[in-house]
Amino acid sequence: MNGVENGDSISALLSWLIDPARLGALFRAVLLLTAGVVLARGARYAIKRGLGGFPVQQQQLFARFAYYAVLGLFSVSAMRQLGFDFAVVLGAAGIVTVAIGFASQTSASNLISGLFLVMEKAVQAGDIVTVDGVTGEVLTVDLLSTKLRTFDNLQVRIPNETMVKARITTLNRFPLRRIDLTVGVAYESDLELVQKTLFEVAQRNPLVLDEPAPLLISQGFGDSSIDYLLAVWGKSENFLTVRNSVTREIKEAFDAAGIEIPFPQRTLQPGTTPLEIRLLRAPTGGSAGASGTSPEPAPDGPPNGGGTISERQADAAAPRSTGGAGPSGA
Amino acid sequence: MLAHDDATGPTHDPGPTDAASAHAPTEPLESIWWGGVDVPPGGAASVRVGPARILAQRRSHEWRVYVERDDEWGETREARARRIARADADDMPSGTPVLRASFADSPGHIVVGAAQADRPVVVRPESPLAIQSGETVTLFVSTPVWIALTISRRRPGGKAKAKGGGESESLRLLEVPSERPTDTWFGPNTRTGELCYATRTSGRLDLADVPQRPHRIVTPVRIENKAGDALEFQRVQVPLPLLAVYRDAGGALWTNGVTLTRDSGGDLAAVRVDGSPPRTVAGGVERLSEPRSVVTGSAMVRAFGRLLRGDGMA
């Protein structure tokens, strides 16, 4: 039975298809679709050529828009040829649009943000930008997202909505960059010599621009050092080279001039009673008791030899805790 | 290193006797260091120009070029040069060559020439210079020479010849400055402008005061102030790539002159390059190299300027 039914349906389809009117409509629809594809590609090519002076992402955006618009129009026309009634479709489209609108509000937001990004030319392919703490080269600005390549060769996709809201720092927009180096010198340093040495380092480096002139700003008195900010200018593409070479040259120049770059220092105040510290010599052999310098205290008596520092600290602190005689208590 | 034309080195061409007494025998003072030499496979050639020493080694399938710089030269800035000559191939520096050019069969003739800087130079007088209205002065500016290395094949008859049997086939290997000048920026602010080289000048206005050194080129810059007000400038841009290099009878290097004419107030000037050898040089001159780029007529450029602030507020 099924074979008979299938045969009937196939023959019905064939008879429906071989209707000359339907065949003509089908032919026109295929023709329209083919023409639509060709024209859409032509429009895309023409827009890319016409916008040759524009940034690549703008060319791509407009070309893509034209492609789908032309293709859409021809598709609708082709479907009308096949007898689709778009009045019904448009009626249902209102309801569907509301549903899709709720479902795709994030995408729509990204889409509109992408348009603003492209029109504002906030970022362009090839820019080095920092967005939300991510630094990288802009690969593309697409309709929904912007793609960055970080310097450790990762691709980061940032939604365009975030790009519009975030603070974007473009590192290579201008041809020059200022390179700031903070350097601290010991409090004992001859500050005139320090300043002269830093300026000489900047002057000797051929990649440091003579103009704008290097700048030296005193940063004040730090915990362990007097701090300076040396700001030198260089070409943006030389940023890392200048930063690394000037740092090395400062160290070499300071070493040659005897200028100390200090480590953090802490001065410990032992309290009211001076802290007694005695250097102990480790036993070189034989019994510890024989040497008389064992750090181990005798089990029933005062610490043997010097004792440990912690014990001595406790001893030293004892008079203070009891309000005993001390310089401050006197 | 900021190029400075105030070196206290001796003037040019003291002669072989002076050279022998003032310098070590291996580093004679010669005013003419350019020229060509044939180098057999496995051989080498060297040339010294100021602080730079260039060694080129020929191998069967490649040329290797080494550049050495005398770090202590800055203390004395003596004017020393040594003409291109064959060198001991075993005397090559141990470091990495700055260039390796490979060939199926390496050409055997190497030529060292003098060339102009590849960017304009910004000259800063040590103190601001004022040119009164209606006055014309000629400022002599000294800049480092670029050393150009070219290799070619030589026919047995002596002329350079292409491998395929055609005319001369020469290949520019590289150009290096005898003394690397500091970069600088010339423009109204830090966003727009041009990358240049920096040099300082004492603003010599008298030719007799200009020291001639084999590693530097002197450019006569004629400034005409036709504006109604005095021109006081802290820096002036000299378009060196537009100028050719000449040598005078004594071997000193010159460029043709450049004239900056200021017709109205401001920093703009019409630049005109003299087509002939420098008028200030007496005697015969020989053209050593062509300009890197050519302009016809005169062009208005921002030639004068004041210093940019280093805090980036400009």
Q: Which residues contact B256 (CB under 8 A, 6 or more apart)?
A: B243, B244, B246, B273, B274, B275, B276, B277, B278
Query: B interface mutation test: which of A176, A210, A238 has the most B CBs within 10 A?
Result: A210
For residue A215, give the nearest of B122, B307, B311 by CB distance. B311
Looking at the DSSP bridge assignments, the partners of residue B289 are B245
Band (B177; pLDDT cuts 50, 70, 90): very high
Query: How far, in Å, CA of A245 to CA of B308, rounded?
Result: 24
194-253 of B, contacting A, C-beta below 8 A? 195, 198, 235
Query: How far, in Å, CA of B295 to CA of B273, rounded?
Result: 8
Q: Which residues in chain A touch residue B198, judged by CB atoms under 8 angstroms apart?
A: 209-211
- Determine contact: A202 vs chain B, CB below 8 A: no
For residue B190, give the nearest of A176, A206, A231 by CB distance. A176
Q: Which residues in chain A touch residue B308, judged by CB atoms under 8 angstroms apart?
A: 211-213
Helix (H, G, I), strand (E, B), or coil: what is residue B207? helix
The confidence score (pLDDT) of residue B250 equals 78
Residue B162, pLDDT above cutoff 60: no
Closest CA to B142 of B60, B79, B189, B97: B79
- Determine contact: A165 vs chain B, CB below 8 A: no
Six token digits for residue B258: 């450049």
- Determine contact: A203 vs chain B, CB below 8 A: yes
Name the DSSP class of B72: T
Helix (H, G, I), strand (E, B), or coil: what is residue A242? helix
Please judge whether B182 and A209 are an interchain contact, meaning their C-beta atoms are less than 8 angstroms apart: yes
Element (H, E) at A137: strand A134-141
- Determine contact: A235 vs chain B, CB below 8 A: yes
- Asked if residues B234 and B126 have their Cβ atoms less than 8 Å apart, the reply is no
Q: Which residue has the tokens 């007000």?
A: B229
Mean pLDDT for each consecutive 10-residue tract of chain A (330 residues)?
65 74 84 92 88 76 87 88 77 81 82 84 90 92 90 94 91 92 92 94 93 91 91 93 95 93 78 75 56 44 43 44 36
Q: Which residues contact A246 (CB under 8 A, 6 or more apart)?
A: A179, A181, A201, A202, A205, A208, A230, A232
The confidence score (pLDDT) of residue A90 equals 76
Give A180 to chain B, closest Cα distance, Å.
11
Residue B230 Cα distances to A149, B88, B124, B272, B306, angstroms: 54, 58, 18, 21, 15
Backbone φ/ψ region at B42: left (φ over 0), alpha (ψ -120 to 50), beta: left
Residue count of chain B, please give it: 314
Give B219 to chain A, closest Cα distance, Å.
21
Query: How far, in Å, CA of B240 to CA of B219, rounded?
Result: 9
The confidence score (pLDDT) of residue B76 equals 56
The confidence score (pLDDT) of residue A305 equals 42
Looking at the DSSP bridge assignments, the partners of residue A185 are A226
- Determine contact: B182 vs chain A, CB below 8 A: yes
Six token digits for residue A58: 């703008």
CB pairs under 8 A between A and B: 67
* pLDDT > 90 in chain B, percent: 17
The confidence score (pLDDT) of residue B249 equals 80
Six token digits for residue A309: 């520092």
Please tell me which residue of chain A has the smallest CA distance to B308: A212
- Ranked by mean pLDDT, which of A87-101, A191-205, B91-105, B129-143 comes out on top? A191-205
Q: What is the ipTM of this complex?
A: 0.75
Six token digits for residue B244: 């050719």
Tell me what the pLDDT averaged over chain B comes to: 77
